[in-house]
Chains A and B, each alone.
Chain A
Amino acid sequence: MINVLKPGLSTTVQDLGRPGYYHIGIPTSGGMDTLSLAAANLLVGNDAGAAVLEVVFLGPELEFTADAMVAVTGADLPPKVDGVEQAGWTAFRVNKGQVLSFGYLKKGARAYIAVSGGIDVPVVLGSRSTYTLGALGGYLGRKLAAGDVLPVGASAADGEGRAVPYHLRRMPGAPAELRMLPGLYWHRITEEAGATFFEDTWKVAPEADRIGYRFKAGRPLDFVPRTPPFGAGSDPSNIVDACYPYGSVQVPSGTEPIVLHRDAVSGGGYMMIGTVVSADMDLIGQLQPHTPTRFVKVTMDQAIFARADRRNTLRAIAAALA
C-alpha cells in the first residue's frame, strides 16, 4: 500500500482509459500523455496499461508500506527517495517505510509514477482511470488527498536501473507543434482566418486541464456570414449541439481555440475547425501555461503516418526494456 502524505496539486489514478461510453457523455479519461504512461509501466515490469499516478506540476509525497519498483516518466519532475534524487525514465527501488517525494518541475507538465504491481483501485466500466467531473473511477472518483491509502497489486519488483533511451523520451519542442487535420466546421471561417490560424503562434492559457486546453494570443477568426440555423443560437460560432471528437479544436466566438482532451465534454454548441491528430494528443498533456504553440496543417495521410511513428516509438521502448 501507499500512504498519501501530501497529494500534490492534482494527482489522479489513470490507465489507458475507458472507451465505449462517450455516447452517454462519459469520456475515455486515462493518462493525457499515454506514451509516457506506458513507458513508466514497462520500466517497472507492468503491462503497458496498468494504473499509475498522473501528477500535474507539483509532485505528491508518498510513503510505501512494502518494497516496490518505481519509475517516473513524462515531465522532468525529479523523484527523490528519502530525499535522495533518482533519475527520471529509470526504474528505482523504494523500500518499505521509505518516502517518495519530488523536486521542482523543470520541464513538461505531467509526470507518471508507475509502481510495480500497478495502483489497484477498483475497475469501473472497464478502467481504473479517474473521471473527476463525473466522480467516477480512480480513487473514490476524485484527485488524491492527504491521508488516502492506495492499494498496490502484487509484483516481483525487479529490473532496477533499467532506463528508456534518451531518443525515445518524447516531449514537445519549442514552440510546441500540434498537427491538425482541418475539417468539421472549417467552412464556417473565412479563407483569411484559416490562414492566420496556422500562421500565428498561440500561447497556452491558464485554463488548461484534462477536459481541454485553451490557447490565446492569436488573431481572432472571422466567420462566413450566415442566417443562424434553427436551434443553433445566434453567435456565429454556434451550431446545433453536436458531438465533439477527442482532439477537436473549437473556437467560441472565434477568439480562443480550445482543444478537447481525455476528459472531454462529449458535445456542445460550438463549431470546431479541425482535430489534433491522435499522435500529438500526448504532447498536449506536457504543455505548461504560456507555452508558445503552433498548429500545423496536415493531411490524413500525414496523420496516419504520425500515428504509425508514435506506435513505432512505443514498440522501440518495449524492445529496449525487454
Chain B
Amino acid sequence: MTTRYTFGGDEHIFVECSDEMSLDAFFRGMSITNALRDAQIKGVTEICPANASFQVRFDPDVIAPDEMMRQLQALEAVAQAAPSTLNTRIIEVPVYYNDPWTHETGQRFRERHQDPTSTDIEYTARINNLDGIEGFIKAHSGAPWFVSMVGFVAGLPFLYQMVDRDRQIQSPKYLRPRTDTPRLTVGHGGCFACIYSVRGAGGYQMFGITPMPIYDPNQTTSYLRDFMCLFKPGDIVKWKPIGREEYDHTVAEVDAGRWQPRIAPVTFSLEEFRKDIDGTNARVMEALND
C-alpha cells in the first residue's frame, strides 16, 4: 500500500492511501488526517477523510503549495506510529427492508437495472449467493458497518461492512442512474452501503428505508438540534431490521420530537479486529446493550 500525493489545482492536495478499499487504507487516511488536524498548520482550511483516500483544502496565499505538500508528507511518518485504535460510537439504525416505497421507485426505473424482472434486493441476494430476501437481511444486518466517508450530498454516509472480504456484499450500480431515490433509502453500490440523506438522483441498489432522519437543515429533529448531520467518519453502524408497524411508530415518534437513536461509546482496535473479526464485532455490538 503506497500513499500517493497529488495536487487538485492550486487549493487542494488529494491523497490516495490505496487504490483498493480496505479498513487498513481507511485507517491510514484517518490517522494522517487526525495528525494533520492536531498539527494546526496555518492555511489548512478543510480536511476531508474518504474511504481509502482523503483531501486537504488549503489557502495558497497563506501556505505555498510545495510547502503544504512537504508538511503533509512529513505527517505520514508521525501517523504511521500512531496506534490503530479509535474511540468512537456505535449507532443502531432501524431498517424496514424490502419496503413499499423503494420497491415502487425501483419498479419505475426498472429498465435502467441489470435485472428488470427482479427487485434490487432479490438481485443482490442472488449474485451474492444469499438465501433469498431473508438470507440477505441476515447477512446485511448481522455484522456492523464502518462509516468510512460522509459526503456526496449533505450528511450522506458511505458504510463499509466489517467482515472478511469474501463475505462482503457487493453489487453493481444501476446501468444508468435513477433521477429519483426516496429520502432515507438504504442503498448499496460496489462494496459500500449508504443512506440517502435527501431525496434525489442515485445509482445505488435500494434495499430498504430507515425511519430515522440523518440530516435536518432546520434542526427540529430532537437528536439533530446540536448539529444538522448525524454521521461522521469513524462511526460504526448496526442495522436493525424492523417491520411496517415499528417503522410507522418510529416515524410518528420522530415527528413528535420524542425519538432518540440508540448510540453507545465504543473503542475499536484494528489489530484486535484483524485477529478476531467475529469476536470484535460481537463486543462492539454488545455496547448497544450496556
Residues of A in contact with B (beta carbons under 8 Å apart): 19-20, 22-26, 124, 131, 133-136, 141, 181, 183-184, 186, 229-234, 238-243, 245-248, 265-269, 272, 274-278, 300, 303-304, 307, 311
Q: Closest CB-CB distance, B101 to chain A, in whole Å? A: 20
Q: Closest CB-CB distance, B203 to chain A, in whole Å? A: 9
Asked if B49 is an interface residue, CB under 8 A from chain A, the answer is yes
Which B residues lie within 8 Å of A239 (CB)? 19
Looking at the complex, which one of B47, B52, B61, B150 makes contact with A231 (CB distance below 8 Å)?
B52
Interface of chain A, helix or strand or loop or mixed?
Answer: mixed
Q: Is the CB of B190 within 8 A of A133?
A: no
Distance in angstroms between the alpha carbons of A139 and B130 in the assembled complex: 48
Asked if B27 is an interface residue, CB under 8 A from chain A, the answer is no
Asked if B14 is an interface residue, CB under 8 A from chain A, the answer is yes
Which B residues lie within 8 Å of A243 (CB)? 14, 48, 50, 53-55, 151
Q: Is the CB of B21 within 8 A of A183?
A: no
Asked if B236 is an interface residue, CB under 8 A from chain A, the answer is no
Distance in angstroms between the alpha carbons of A229 and B21 in the assembled complex: 8
Which single residue of chain A is at the shortest CB-CB distance from B20? A229
Which A residues lie within 8 Å of B261 (CB)? none
Which B residues lie within 8 Å of A230 (CB)? 20-22, 165, 191
* Known A-B contacts A124-B217, A134-B217, A141-B217; A278 and B9 likewise in contact (beta carbons under 8 Å): yes
Interface of chain B, helix or strand or loop or mixed?
Answer: loop
Residues 52-91 of chain B: 1 if any A CB is under 8 Å from the residue's CB, otherwise 0? 1111010011001110000000000000000000000000
Which single residue of chain B is at the shortest CB-CB distance from A303? B10
Q: Is the CB of A240 within 8 A of B154?
A: no
Q: Is the CB of A268 within 8 A of B152?
A: yes
Q: Is the CB of B190 within 8 A of A269?
A: yes
Which A residues lie within 8 Å of B16 (CB)? 242
Which B residues lie within 8 Å of A26 (CB)? 154-155, 229
Asked if B243 is an interface residue, CB under 8 A from chain A, the answer is no
* Known A-B contacts A231-B51, A241-B50; A24 and B19 likewise in contact (beta carbons under 8 Å): no
Asked if B220 is an interface residue, CB under 8 A from chain A, the answer is no
Q: Closest CB-CB distance, B222 to chain A, in whole Å? A: 19
A-B contact pairs, 23 of them (CB 8 A): A20-B45, A22-B57, A22-B151, A23-B150, A23-B233, A24-B150, A25-B156, A26-B154, A134-B153, A183-B7, A229-B20, A231-B52, A231-B190, A231-B192, A233-B172, A240-B20, A241-B190, A243-B14, A243-B50, A266-B151, A267-B50, A269-B189, A304-B65
